[in-house]
Amino acid sequence: MRFVYGPVPSRRLGQSLGIDPIPHKTCNWNCVYCQLGRTKPVVNQRASFFPPTEIVAEIENAVAAHDPGEIEWLTFVGSGEPTLHEGIGWMIRKVKSFTSIPVAVITNGALLHLPGVREELSKADAVLPTLDAGTADLYRKLNRPHPRVPFEQHLEGLIAFSREYGGILWPEIMLVRGINDTKTALRDLAEAFRQIGPDEVHLNLPTRPPVEAWVQPPDDEGLMRATAIIGDAAHIVHPIEGIFDLRGYTNVVDALLGIISRHPMREIELHRTLDRWAPGKVTEALAALETSGRAQIIERYGVRFWSIASAHFPQEPGKKPS
């Protein structure tokens, strides 16, 4: 499968079938915590990267191949920014015409200042946009956006979408220790969320391999501070362990690459998943993946993660922004 992967386990969306409508790392941000490596280059031009009809056909086939209840959400998430695909609105409407499974969109929200993009996402059942910073300075440090997506425009787009949207709005914050988990940063974020008025605010932790090695998740004090300042709407999203569905591929290596190109996996997750889908062939499958030249091992927090070989993870620690 080219565009669909999983279902993958999600604490918020249960067993979520991922839909990736864009080429790898096609994004208008270059976040310091991104699990997919650095964005090279950062782009902000919408395009029909792949034929929408082919993407929808693959979604329909995947839904038909699973029993009722095996897929709880259909999630446009992408290995970058899914709203850069100019056909996302058509795809959402088409998917909802043949299945009752709810549709979610995980987006950085940087294009929500465009009325057309807000209209396209209005048909989704849930939208999960990102807001990591409450000031322009911190936004540039954390998200390293394209010059044409400034902070003020980003925030205005989120506020406008909230006023127009009738579905579930769950903005996300990726908390990075010492950067946006301070009292000042969190108070700025709380004010921004007051203007947006979301259903919930999800506090995420960079537990998968962040592109910049200096990125660390907040400690317990930082999490307590975030929930206290953001308020009752705040919910901590802890990482979830589960089994990744490898059906739909002709061989195990292609199946694993289909997952780790969008969702780098801990080595222990790979073992657990392979033990279910290829019993007795775990060592053989990992050896085949390693020798294929299409995967790489990234170490963060003393843990080995598997990602695709083309993802750019710098070997040097890099400099933490002041």
pLDDT digits (tens, 9 = 90+) for 220-236: 999 999 999 999 999 99
What is the number of domains present in the chain?
1
Query: Does residue 315 belong to any structural domain of this protein?
Result: no
The pLDDT of residue 243 is 60
Low-confidence ranges of the chain (pLDDT < 50): none
**Which domain covers residue 271, as residue numbers?**
4-308
Give residue 259's pLDDT. 78
Confidence at residue 265, expressed as pLDDT on a 0 to 100 scale: 83
Judge contact between 15 and 104, C-beta under 8 A.
no
pLDDT score recorded for residue 315 = 67
318 within some domain: no
Cα pseudo-dihedral 29, 35, 37, 39, rounded to 10: -10
Q: Is residue 22 part of a domain?
A: yes
Task: Tell me the sheet residues that pair with 203.
Answer: 173, 236
- CATH code, 74: 3.20.20.70
Q: Which two tokens stand for residue 243?
A: 């089994």
> Per the domain annotation, does 10 fall within a domain?
yes
pLDDT at 303: 82
Rounded Cα distance between 137 and 55, Å, is: 38
Strands, DSSP E only, in 123-278? 126-128, 168-169, 172-174, 201-204, 234-237, 265-266
Asked if residue 247 is part of any domain, the answer here is yes
Instruction: Report pLDDT for 244.
Output: 67
Please tell me the distance from the alpha carbon of residue 249 to that of residue 259, in angstroms, as a whole number.
Answer: 11
What's the gap between Cα 157 and its chain centre? 19
**E strand residue ranges, 137-294:** 168-169, 172-174, 201-204, 234-237, 265-266
